[in-house]
Structure 1
């Protein structure tokens, strides 16, 4: 971004500061949409949506896990997570069962089919990185920056 196109930081906004192309939120929005398109394409090969992909990875890393904890880890509310898990269970990717220690909680775990599908997804991060056109270091730096922004904005909420 050239200095004249860079988002301004300061107190009062000029009309140029309110240009859509200069808004960080818009740059983030268009980047997310571009990533969504690439993920949609790559994950279609595996019969998954992006939220299902994230859920498989999260359960694979942390599972078995309660639905509540899965929601925390994925930053999703139960109204979004429950239908997602129902579809994944119908596809044979996950199993849900009442927690024997607390019947009010539901525990989600990968099925053998889910573990196999997760194993087939190992090339997705590399393919995404390649499609981004960024170097490994640029991706590491971007990830660090995005995490810091998320933390800072979340701390102010």
Structure 2
């Protein structure tokens, strides 16, 4: 199956990327999830905690655990949202900004390395394919036919 399915290529590649990011993050005592959270928080205006989960594709429980760990490590602090007393805004500490910059550097280094080895035309097609896959998923056009493809 691994040579035949798009799913396998997506999963295997993402797992390799995630492993690579976690290895880099561990050099600073961090994780990929923390790095993505840092990148999702506006360094000047903070971010509503409720907007972070959807941005990161993370469930509320996992996000809550990640934010708790980040707060314990001194990367973020939380304040009540003045516009909505029920909401919480998440802000970066100076250490959080420093670690956000590190995360940004890691992501840009990966991007640069890929761009160095893959011609722009191929990257354009790659990104177009991913956009199409995302559109198929979000418009729920994949499992519309109840018949099995293999039958």
Please indicate the TM-score interval, normalised by the length of the shorter structure.
0.7 to 0.9
Q: Give a deviation string over 1:81-134, Cα, whole Å, max 9, x none.
A: 101100011111111122122221111111111111112334312432426873
Tell me the alpha carbon deviations over residues 50-79 of structure 1, each in whole angstroms, 9 at most, x when there is no partner.
Answer: 111111011036841111111222122211
Q: Which residue matches 1:135?
A: 118
Out of 79, 84, 89, the residue aligned to residue 102 of structure 1 is 84
Question: In the alignment, which residue of structure 2 is the partner of 1:12?
Answer: none
Structure 1 residues 142 and 45, CA gap change in structure 2 (3 angstroms): farther
1:88 alignment counterpart: 70
Compared CA separation, residues 40 and 136, structure 1 to 2 (3 A): farther
**Partner in structure 2 of residue 32 of structure 1:** 14
TM-score, scaled to structure 2: 0.78
Against the structure 1 CA distance between its residues 88 and 78, is the aligned structure 2 distance closer, same or farther, given a 3 Å change threshold?
same
Out of 60-69 and 32-41, give the one that drifted further: 60-69
Which consecutive unaligned segments of at least 5 residues does structure 2 have? 142-151
Q: How many pairs are equivalent?
A: 139
Can you list the C-alpha shifts for 1:16-64, whole angstroms capped at 9, x where unaligned?
xxx3420111111111111112111111122221111111011036841
